[in-house]
Amino acid sequence: MSDPDVTDNAEAAAPLEHRVVLVTGISGSGKSVALHALEDAGYFCVDNLPPELLRAFLRVERKRSGSIRLLAIAVDVRSAGSLPHLLPLIDELRGEGVAIQSFFLDASTDALVRRFSESRRPHPLTADGGTSDTQRALIEAIELERELLAELREVSTVIDTSQLRPAQLRLWVRHAVNAPRAGLTLVFESFAFKHGVPLDADFVFDLRVLPNPHYIRELRPFTGRDAAVAEYLAAQPEVGEMLSQIEAFLAHWLDAFIDDQRSYLTVAVGCTGGQHRSVYAAEQLARRFHGRAATLIRHREQDERERWQK
């Protein structure tokens, strides 16, 4: 994936454990998305902290743990009255050894107008004193906000989010702070088509075209977790071909799913009764991806049966 449209005016990145990330920018440019990405990366996030409280907040953090934990603080135009004091304060804190990395999220006016229209949320500067006759036009409010935040933009790393999907913005923010790559858990779930497709499935594979152990009297009482059924299915060329193709598909797209900031990817494999073929396939796929990603196995029909038997 290519790098974002970034203008980097920030100082060189400090060691992660000593960094305070300041997230600011134009309303509607994605600050909430960026904060969520940092929170997932282990940062303690504070939204719209008044700048005059920043020093006191850091002092409390030091007193609490003897050091400053990973912090991300969002400051925006809602604190407009305090913004003139923010830049000198940042310089003072950096002089005292606090490494502050500032990100400014921006977007084109057209993109911002579209986002406010879609969300139907008011811009924080469209009302002055709360009276309807003083409503500013949305575009005028955006331009005013640009003026108020211009100096802060000049000393920050600027990320243009005009063409970014939320997943892309989360990924780029994590890269910018050198956060570890997000983890993905592959969930392999067996199920019976006669009871419906799992609602949480991201991908569904139909195994009903494969040889069915149900029609072999000696195998019917067992499940795909039992050795006799597993040996029978392993000996069928179609089964091996189907599993290899599913594995190849998932392996090809695995990095893309991780970069999309997925936490879970559920792969549902189904057969008629959810007892033999799908159970075996879920177990085998989990084994094949062991070591490449975290894996979980669910056997919907089998697990439900076991719960009723307890």
What are the start-end ranges of the E strands in 26-171? Answer: 44-47, 71-74, 99-106, 157-160
Q: Are 101 and 157 in contact (CB under 8 A)?
A: yes
How much is the pLDDT for 246? 97
| 62: nearest Cα among 101, 14, 18, 23 | 18
Q: Are 22 and 101 in contact (CB under 8 A)?
A: yes
Q: What are the tens digits of pLDDT across the range 160-177? A: 898 888 888 887 888 788
| 154: nearest Cα among 247, 24, 276 | 24
How much is the pLDDT for 297? 92
- Of 3-12, 105-114, 149-158, 193-202, which gets the smallest average pLDDT? 3-12
Average the pLDDT over 13-20 and give the result.
53
Distance of alpha carbon 237 from alpha carbon 242, whole angstroms: 9
| 3-class DSSP assignment, residue 20 | strand
Q: What is the set of domains in the chain, with CATH numbers?
A: 6-176 (3.40.50.300), 185-309 (no CATH)
Mean of the per-residue pLDDT values of the chain: 83
* DSSP string for 251-305: HHHHHHHHHTT-SEEEEEEEESSSSSHHHHHHHHHHHHHBTTBEEEEEEHHHHHH
How much is the pLDDT for 219? 95
Q: What are the tens digits of pLDDT across the range 53-75? A: 888 888 887 777 666 678 899 98
How much is the pLDDT for 131? 41
Whole-model pTM over 0.95: no
Neighbour-count burial for 66-93, b at 16+ CB within 10 Å, e otherwise: eebebbbbbbbbebeebbeebeeebeeb
Q: Are 157 and 267 in contact (CB under 8 A)?
A: no
Count other C-beta atoms under 10 Å from residue 120's C-beta. 6
